[in-house]
Amino acid sequence: MIFFKEDRKQSIESLEFFFFLGDFYSYLLEKNETENSAIKEFVDVIKSHYDWQFYKIQNYANSLMDHVFWQSRDFYLNRMQKFVSHELTGREFVNDFFFKLLNDRKEYSILKKDFKKQETLELNPKSHQLSKIIDDFYLALEAFDEEPEPDDSGFLTEDQLRHSVTT
């Protein structure tokens, strides 16, 4: 099922072109030591086109990230339920959840450049924005401290972390 504006083939080509433009723009910035205004304008045009391409591929790239996180949905739900029911300590929850979240981000980084694999993926519309929901826990996980000092207002206690999971 397609739940983004362009068809799959066009989305994959747009994503590939986005990465090409990014590499090309980076190369131009690295190698450009001229004061020639025409060259500088050309580099600016490439940057503008790169930004426009990002706008075009953003929904498709998000759907790829959602796909990766969707594959792990049972794990995330299980850990959240166990944490909320006090079967896991804050440290156990943070370690498990954080490790899986980082692994899923890494898998997404690989997938978004694997254009052949993207052709065969079954993207599920139910996964829409799951990665955003899970990824939003990143800061809470980083802010967790098993034994925060009284003046450490930037850290979360286990009870505060548990509350953030339930809300």
Digit-coded pLDDT (tens) for 31-69:
888 899 999 999 999 999 999 999 999 999 999 999 999
- Residue 108: name the closest of 63, 57, 52 by CA: 63
Share of the chain above pLDDT 90, in %: 71
Residue 123 lies in a domain: yes
Burial annotation 141-159 (CB, 10 A radius, 16+ → b, else e): bebbbeebeeeeeeebbbe
Residue type, 122: E
Residue 1 lies in a domain: no
Task: Report the C-alpha gap between 164 and 75 in whole angstroms.
Answer: 18
Lowest mean pLDDT among 11-15, 32-36, 146-150: 146-150
Task: Report the C-alpha gap between 29 and 49 in whole angstroms.
Answer: 15
Give yes or no for residue 1 having a pLDDT over 50: no
Give yes or no for residue 3 having a pLDDT over 70: no
Could you give the number of structural domains in the chain?
1
Residue 25 lies in a domain: yes
Digit-coded pLDDT (tens) for 83-101:
999 999 999 999 999 999 9
Residue 122 lies in a domain: yes
Structural domain span for residue 146: 8-166
Residue 2 lies in a domain: no
Residue 3 lies in a domain: no
- State if pTM tops 0.75: yes
Residue 87 lies in a domain: yes
